[in-house]
Structure 1
Amino acid sequence: MKEKVTYAVVDIETTGGNVASGDRIIQFGCVLIEDEKIVQQYATDINPLVSISKQIEQLTGITNQKVAHAPYFEDVATTIFNLLDGCIFVAHNIQFDYRFLSEEFVRCGLPPLSISGIDTVEIAQILLPTEPSFRLNDLAAAFNFSHENPHQADSDAYVTAELFLMLKKKLKQLPLVTVEKLVELAYHCTMQTGQFFKDTLSEMYTERPPLPKQLIVKEGLALQQKTVDYEQRTHRVPVHYPVTNKEKEELFQQKLTMRTPQIKMMDEVYDYFSEHQSEHQSEHFAIEAATGTGKTLGYLLPLAYLATPQEPVVISTYTTLLQKQLFEKDSKQLNAILPFTIQTAVLKSKRHYIHLAKFQEVLKDPVENQLDALLRMRTLTWLTETTTGDLDELNLTNYLQPFWDKIRHRGWVDTMQEDPFYEQDFYLFAQEKIKNASIIITNHAFLCHDLHRKEPILPDVQKIVIDEAHHLADVATEASSEIFSYYRNQHLLRLVGKLAEEKSFLGRLNQLVPKNVGIQTSQLNLIEMSTLALEEELSLFFEELVMYCHIEMTEAQKKQDQIDLQFVRTTSWSLELRKLTKKVVALLQDVTILGMEVTQQALAQRKQLTQRERHLMDDFFELMQTLEEQTAIFQHIFQNSEQNEVTWFSFKQKSPKDSFVIKRSRIDSSEFLRKKLVEQTKSILYTGATLELNSAFTYFEKQLGEQPLRKLLIPTPYDYRDQAKLWIPKELKPIKQLSKKQFAQMIVEYLEVLVHCSNENMMVLFNSHETLQAVYDLIQQHSAFLGRELLAQGLSGSRDRMLKRFFHSAGGILLGADSFWEGVDLPGKSLRLIVVTRLPFESPDRPFTKARYQWLEREGINPFMADAVPKATIRLKQGLGRLIRSETDKGVLLVLDDRLVHTSYGQQMLTALPSEMTKEVISKEDLGRELPLFLKDEQ
């Protein structure tokens, strides 16, 4: 008879993370599980005999008073040791709880822990591959576990037990073929976590569950079955656009709230695209729809009645995140009210999708490390769930691990039909969905890159909606950027490698020579010699380039760590650099020409190659293409010259050569957009919340190379007179008179005023990451902020995770720059206070900005008034837009920059903000008194 297994699910709360430094346990919680049921609970407070810090009190709710009369750990150590004896130890992030508890046992004269251990974090990462966060609180919220006292041991242990049971159930629901592969890889898991998979597989062999109906097994991989949905418009009752408000009310019913501004937008969009369907006019349309209008549905609903798979509409939005939201949330909301179904599809590049044949080959390779095993296991589970194969579903913060590069889709050099997973290929499936969709959703970066391509991927459409349109010009400029870096090119050359290196491309290609597939060792020798020579010449070139930069740098730049130096073509270029430039170009060309020859010869004999060998040739071909692109960029930078572009050198003083990057970019994209988009597309609708400045679209039109547009301003539905205030402190010193240190101290001084008078969540917006870091450091050292959750961009995880934590905070402080100025939706009490640390001007010292200003001056335009002020004004409007997100919201925007009231351009910026909103200078004392009074009715 099989011995009964008891799982002891444990959580401890401590005064800190290090027993040796005197940290102690303050609470112990344990839940026992047998036969997949919770059978017993045990929890106790523990007197640590050391003071519990304010931060730990705030985090756990456990105070010094609460544990004052609790037993010491020495009193309960034997009880806990005996409780755990013979059990399998389970914890969420086991490395901490197991080690800490074991060290405490030893301190009390007991043996160290030696029982088996399982980590629920790791199991969750494997079995819940699409979850955005694996923190216990977030998983509890995602799966509706009751978790009333987070960071208290009894509650955390119970929730971890529930999670463990759910994960066990989830594992048993996977197909046997997947679980068998997971068991093969689970050997690399933390402690004995692998045993969890092995034991569950044994149970499954006994039960023999059938393969779920929605799954198929192909080449040893369990996959979701996929079908393309086709629109059946010919078989439905004829429908027409709901022209009247009554028809719209019938359509909306109780599912959505009707808003007057949104109805106005719907009708205008419908009329615009209807006119353009029958007429030959080419006027384009810009609609500024203020926050709260409901602009997404404002254009989606009318398009649903006009778009067809034969004449689709392309919608382009700013980011892949917004693209995802349009597809997963907004289009589903639309289909919920329509009397028919409209098919939408997402258009992304190949690299977003997994290539199944390559993943299958990777599974055959030896596991490189624990992370490699974990990623393989996670992907195996995900393949039983996904119908898109879109890697973005995995919600990873980065895809820099070599694993992702190995399994990404890159297409096929020749015959795709030879791919064993051709019929299940995710990229081809996405293409098929696009052919049958009425609405195609993409993002600005993809759109702009597609406008560059000789053979576009986007279908030839004549109806385009550009959402968040104020970003299009900047994204087009970014899409024109070219980068040549020392590190990247040396990395590419190391991948080419040497014949003697088994894992290098040359080493692996050399193994194909005996197969007579057209590859000769002599050819590979030539590539090796050229590659080694190129590595050396590149190294010499960048050494010389660093020396050149040190000569050209100003004294102020020499004191900085990060150097950005504009390259002026008229500058004297030393003879040595000119020689090295020619050598680098010649060698780059040699390597790519020789590499392409080898590729073509081998691919001509493709039928003699195994699947793995074909992938090797595909990957080598892509590597050669990349080197070819780098050659073209290098030539363009140093041998060509265009007026409308800027080149600059960027590197860190500490490691100048390794960090050296050469960047080239178009300065102005208006001409490019005019020729490639504006003049080529019959109907374009531009929309966003910040297209106009002081009721004029002139700046927006110039950026896009547009003719005077048809325009519509849809005013805000919010009452800014009662809902919002903008305050500028009276005692502010001019920013230019403050050093960087003084400026950071001044910001913290005002944040202290705010935390003393209010427990509001506050978002603090920066222009500079350096200032953000300085403020973060000061807050951490300041007693006034103890107990406040502090989140900082670049220091507290991904943007999404930060916003999620901030939303659930009480009195949280979020320090953000860049993307936090917009696209943040935190309604109600989650965000009612925003601090703008300085007016959001671009740094005029950035090479790109400097070059743009010089170009504008050559055109006879004042760069500050024509470019800097409009951009900063739009940014400020975006910041304000984070504050009021519904008719019941209230909020304060505090600007710590006296230029807003003491300069003419500051007054101009104020005028661009809602006219009815209170904008006033306020003393520090009044600020502390007025803020809680203004927000009191919501507290």
Structure 2
Amino acid sequence: MTLTEAVRGAFAADGALPRAAEAFRPRDGQTEMALAVADAIETGGALVVEAGTGVGKTFSYLVPALLSGERVLVSTATKTLQDQLFGRDLPRLVEALGVPVRTALLKGRASYLCLHRMEQARRDPGVDRAATVTLARIEQWSQATRTGDLAEMPGLDERSPVLPLVTSTRENCLGSQCPRFRECHVNHARREALAADVVVVNHHLFFADLAVRESGMAELLPTVKVAVFDEAHQLNETGVQFLGRQLGTGQLIDFARDLLAAGLQLARGLADWSGLAGSLDRAGRELRLVVGRSTAGSRLRWTAQAPEGVPPQPWEEALDDLRAACEDAMDALSTVSEIAPDFVRLHERAAGIAERAARFAGPAEPGAVRWVDVGTQLRLVESPLDIAHAVRTRLLGMKDDEDDGAQDEQLTGGRAWIFTSATLGDDARLSWFTEPCGLSSAQVLRVGSPFDYPSQASLYLPANLPKPADPGHSLAVSRLAGQAAQHLGGRTMVLTTTLRALRAIGEDLQRRFDGSRDIEVLVQGQWPKRRLIERFREGSAGGAPGCLLVASASFWEGVDVPGDALELVVIDKLPFPPPGDPLVEARSQRLEAQGRSPFNDYFVPEAAVALKQGAGRLIRRESDRGVLVVCDTRLATMGYGRRLLAALPPMRRLRSGEEFEAALDALAAARLAAA
């Protein structure tokens, strides 16, 4: 039996999948995608699949991958999705299909407890009382955990400042010289991965290894026949983070802390550890002070000797002082290197920071863009404009001078590369994704959602709101969302395009519903993301107030709230890329140099994909009902609005405020009738 025949049988009504998924029923789109994946596995090559919400793309790529008998690598966008895939989807399918495969989960270092650093932190006198309590809980948990995966520890805040103290990085890991090397959770996870038939990783880990070849993927990837990238729409932006060069003042502070702790614990009196750490701290602070009071969260262009608005001479002097502080630390560390492997690694870290500082003092690489991220700390970044070159040369094995037409020949008979997501572009070739990812000649398949959007969802474009640039726009959005949430008893998510709008809308709604027993306003940043989503999913269950969530950034995608906990999604503005962002500007300039339109070929496709992602939060199951509101009049008045509307699911249009209120009333009435 061929793989295609086996896959077709598994997706039949009397096949294996009904045993893996409750209420499974054959879907043409899901089977179509699975057969395309099977064909790619049999013939080799790159396949790009846009699979609309509800298709069931996870089963579509896992079933043929498992039935193929080949070694498989699956990469997901986030650690949460990684855990879901490994802990839920894979075991169900392995059991239903009856395939004898060994699976493994592999994350980055920051996900695993480092036993050596935990011991160091416990002895560190600089750790405060609150951190000491958390450390004690982690130490108790460490006695029972098999994997060391900190996501398994109950009640550990993902934002805890203790986490960097008990996890390792590529810079501070001691490797085989570590006294706890044999018990190392990171190495155990890598050994498991190398012995497994199916390995689940995430995009950050994959590209980190592609950049520095350190995570174990260098040994793993050559043995893999099938590589699947789920939520592939994040690949380009994730990849450019790792394929460039970065230097942060936070790195300097972490290094100074580790230097002081190791020096005082292992070589007290042999060097002025406090003075050296103080010099490193000062160098980081001085570099931050040179930048001045730039808005936190902003990006400064860096096309000349110094970033925009920063005086060149003080900037150069601050980089020189940073380098000098690292060199002083290196001199001291070289005198104690034989005492403990910690000092050898600290010396390497100091050399690495000094080398990056020297690189940033010189010109950028050709074809790269530089900028400075401004926050409490600074982050100096030099990045490629996309990952096309890296994908073509490092993944697909093409040579620099080969054009896309040679790709099929390179891949035939080789690995299968599967890239899939619910949103990959707004044209037939999915060029928003394929061009920056170097996949212009890949096979492309678009599979529509099985949801009946005209009956399940409505779209409302309010015509009487202020223009998006007007100061009163955010308050108008807040009023609309607040009134609608009262109709529905919560069940409302407001997605904003900027943190400024997030704060304005969130604060206004919290004032409006302060003391309310019916509506609880949740605002991104006030709780960890996982806790916010859990509370929102609970909705008004158990007599609790209904929820109105105001969020931005990562909440536009990957948030799954099925059922009547979410019935209204409000988007404040069209999600165009910020025009003043250095990376956006550099990409626009490249398109202009090619004689193309940055607005039509970059800004509009970016907005279309982001808008579709945000709208995708509304309908997650065949039984869901809801309304999408886009509070941007440009969608109805500008010519490009038609293109953006076409990217949205085919929802029923509401033409007036009266129709909008009637739709909300209908949702509330249907819920009451079903109760």
TM range (shorter): 0.7 to 0.9
Partner AA of 1:290 in structure 2 = G
Deviation, structure 1 residue 636:
2.0
Provide Cα deviations, 1:673-712, integer angstroms capped at 9, x if missing partner.
2222233673201111112314332221101012311121
- In structure 1, the partner of 2:408 is none
Determine if contact 2:334/2:347 at 8 Å carries over to the other structure. Answer: no
Query: 1:496 maps to what in 2?
Result: 259
Q: Which has the larger radius of gyration?
A: 1
Alpha-carbon distance, 1:349 to partner: 2.8
The match for 1:269 is 37
- 5+ residue gaps, structure 2, are 399-410, 541-545
2:4–2:38 CA contact under 8 A, matched in 1: no
Structure 1-normalised TM-score? Answer: 0.62
Spell out, residue by residue over 1:538-562, the C-alpha distance to the aligned partner (whole angstroms, 9 max, x if none).
665655x33xx68xxxxxx7xx566
Q: 1:754 to 1:798 in 2, by over 3 A?
A: same
Counterparts of residues 123-138 of structure 1 (less than 5 Å)? none
Alignment of 1:860-939 (within 5 A): 860-914=595-649, 916-920=650-654, 922-933=655-666, 936-939=669-672
Change (3 A) 1:537 1:381: closer
Equivalent residue number for residue 320 of structure 2: 583
Deviation string 1:304-351 (CA, Å, 9 cap, x unpaired) is 12244xxx2111110111111111111122123122342211122334
Deviates more, 1:297-306 or 1:590-599: 590-599
Aligned match for 2:451, one of 694, 698, 718: 718
Cα distance, 1:574 vs structure 2: 6.5
Partner of 1:382: 141
Give 2:59's aligned residue: 297
Secondary structure at the counterpart of residue 316 of structure 1: strand
Asked if 1:405 corresponds to 2:168, the answer is no
Per-residue deviation at 1:931?
2.7
Going from structure 1 to structure 2, the CA distance change for 1:250 and 1:397 (only over 3 Å counts) comes to same
Q: Does the 8 Å CA contact 1:564/1:847 hold for their aligned counterparts?
A: yes
SS in 1 for 2:603: helix
Q: Aligned pair in 2 of structure 1 residues 431, 641: CA closer, same or farther (>3 Å)?
A: closer
How far has the Cα of 1:356 moved from its partner?
Answer: 3.5
Distance 1:435 1:841, change over 3 A: same
Q: Could you say which residue in structure 2 is the equivalent of 1:648?
A: 371
| Distance change in 2, residues 1:926/1:381 (3 Å) | same
The aligned counterpart of 1:451 is 210
Distance 2:427 2:494 in 1: 26
2:46–2:442 Cα contact (<8 Å) kept: yes
Equivalent residues of 1:725, 1:892 under 8 A apart: yes
Question: Is 1:477 matched with 2:240?
Answer: yes
Does 2:150 correspond to 1:394? Answer: no
Counterpart position of 1:729: 462
- The alpha-carbon distance between structure 1 residues 341 and 378, as it changes in their structure 2 partners (threshold 3 A), is farther
- Once the 2 structures are TM-superposed, how far is the Cα of residue 934 of structure 1 from its aligned partner? 5.8
CA shift for structure 1 position 840: 1.2
With over 3 angstroms needed to count, the CA separation of the structure-2 counterparts of 1:812 and 1:275, relative to structure 1, is same
Correspondence for 1:258 among 12, 25, 31: 25
The equivalent of 1:510 in structure 2 is 267
Task: Summarize the alignment of residues 43-58 of structure 1 with structure 2, pairs less than 5 Å apart.
Answer: none
Deviation at 1:874, TM superposition (A): 0.7
How many angstroms apart in 2 are the aligned matches of 1:318 and 1:465?
Answer: 11
Q: Which residue of 1 is the match for residue 230 of structure 2?
A: 467
Residue 702, structure 1, aligned to residue 430, structure 2 = no
Corresponding residue for 2:346? 623
Contact kept? 2:364, 2:382, Cα under 8 Å? no
Identify the match of residue 597 of structure 1 among 325, 331, 334.
Answer: 334
Aligned-partner Cα distance in 1 for 2:210–2:77: 16
When residues 596 and 919 of structure 1 are mapped into structure 2, their CA distance, relative to the original with a 3 A threshold, is: farther
Letter in 1 for 2:387: S
Residue 198 of structure 2 aligns with which residue? 439
1:819-873 deviation digits (Å, cap 9, x = unpaired): 1111111112111211111111222123332333234333433222211111111
2:14 is matched with 249
* Partner in structure 2 of residue 286 of structure 1: 48
**Residue 847, structure 1, aligned to residue 607, structure 2:** no
Q: 1:505 to 1:255 in 2, by over 3 A?
A: closer
Matching residue of 2:531: 801
- TM-superposed CA distance for 1:650, in Å, is 4.3
CA contact 1:538–1:584 (8 Å) conserved in 2: no
Q: Deviations over 1:479-514 (max 9, x none)?
A: 2354434465255336535xxxxxx44444434x8x
Q: Distance in 1 between matches of 2:566 and 2:616?
A: 11
Distance 1:576 1:368 in 2: 37
Q: Distance in 2 between matches of 1:561 and 1:829?
A: 37
Aligned match of 2:386: 668
- Name the amino acid aligned to 2:327: D
Once the two structures are superposed, residues 3-48 of structure 1 have per-residue CA deviations (whole angstroms, 9 ceiling, x without a partner) of xxxxxxxxxxxxxxxxxxxxxxxxxxxxxxxxxxxxxxxxxxxxxx
Alignment of 1:769 onto 2:499: yes
Cα 1:254/1:496, change in 2 over 3 Å: closer
Aligned with residue 748 of structure 1, among 453, 458, 478 = 478
Matches within 5 A, 1:751-830: 751-782=481-512, 786-810=516-540, 811-830=546-565
Residue 275 of structure 1 aligns with an amino acid whose one-letter code is T
SS of 1:882 mapped into structure 2: coil
User: How far is the alpha carbon of 1:472 from its aligned partner?
Assistant: 0.3
Deviations 1:149-193 (A, max 9, x none): xxxxxxxxxxxxxxxxxxxxxxxxxxxxxxxxxxxxxxxxxxxxx
- Structure 2 distance, partners of 1:576, 1:821, is 42
Task: Give the SS at the match of 2:417.
Answer: strand
Q: Which residue of 2 aligns with 1:679?
A: 397
Distance 1:531 1:434, change over 3 A: closer
How much has 1:570 moved relative to structure 2?
Answer: 5.9
- Partner Cα separation in structure 2 for residue 570 and residue 773 of structure 1: 35
State the alpha-carbon separation in 2 of the partners of residues 483 and 563 from structure 1: 16
Structure-2 separation of matches of 1:561 and 1:583: 25
CA contact (8 A) 1:752 1:785 kept: no
Q: Does 1:346 align with 2:105?
A: yes
Q: How far apart are the structure 2 equivalents of 1:934 and 1:490? A: 53
Give the CA RMSD over aligned residues.
3.3
Q: 1:661 to 1:305 in 2, by over 3 A?
A: closer
Distance 1:367 1:634 in 2: 28
Secondary structure of residue in 2 paired with 1:649: strand
Which residue type is aligned with residue 430 of structure 1? A
Aligned with 2:68 (options 303, 306, 311): 306
For 1:881, the aligned partner's letter is G
Report 1 or 2 for greater relative contact order, CA contacts < 8 Å, sequence distance ≥ 6. 2
Q: Quickly say closer, same or farther: Cα 1:835–1:785, change in 2 above 3 A.
A: farther
Q: Give the direction of change, closer, same or farther, for the CA distance of 1:803–1:583 in structure 2 (3 Å limit).
A: closer
Mapped to 1, the partners of 2:243 and 2:437 lie a distance apart of 15
Contact 1:313 1:440 in 2 (8 A): yes
CA distance in 2, matches of 1:402, 1:253: 45
Q: Give the TM-score of the pair, scaled to structure 2.
A: 0.85
**For 1:889 and 1:679, how far apart are their aligned partners in 2?**
44
Contact in 1 for aligned 2:49/2:420 (Cα 8 Å):
yes
The residue that corresponds to 1:81 in the other structure is: none
Instruction: Give distance in 1, aligned partners of 2:619 and 2:101.
Output: 32
Question: Is the partner of 1:815 in helix, strand or coil?
Answer: strand
Deviation, 1:266, is 2.2
SS of aligned partner of 2:338: helix
Unaligned runs of 5+ in 1: 1-237, 277-282, 498-503, 514-520, 551-556, 603-613, 653-657
Change (3 A) 1:253 1:919: closer
Alignment partners' CA distance in 1, 2:123 and 2:486: 60
Contact 1:588/1:628 (8 A) holds in 2:
no
Q: 1:686 to 1:667 in 2, by over 3 A?
A: same
Relative distance call for 1:245 and 1:794 in structure 2 (3 A) is: closer
Q: Is the 8 A contact 2:305 2:312 kept in 1?
A: no
- Offset of 1:286 from its aligned partner? 0.9
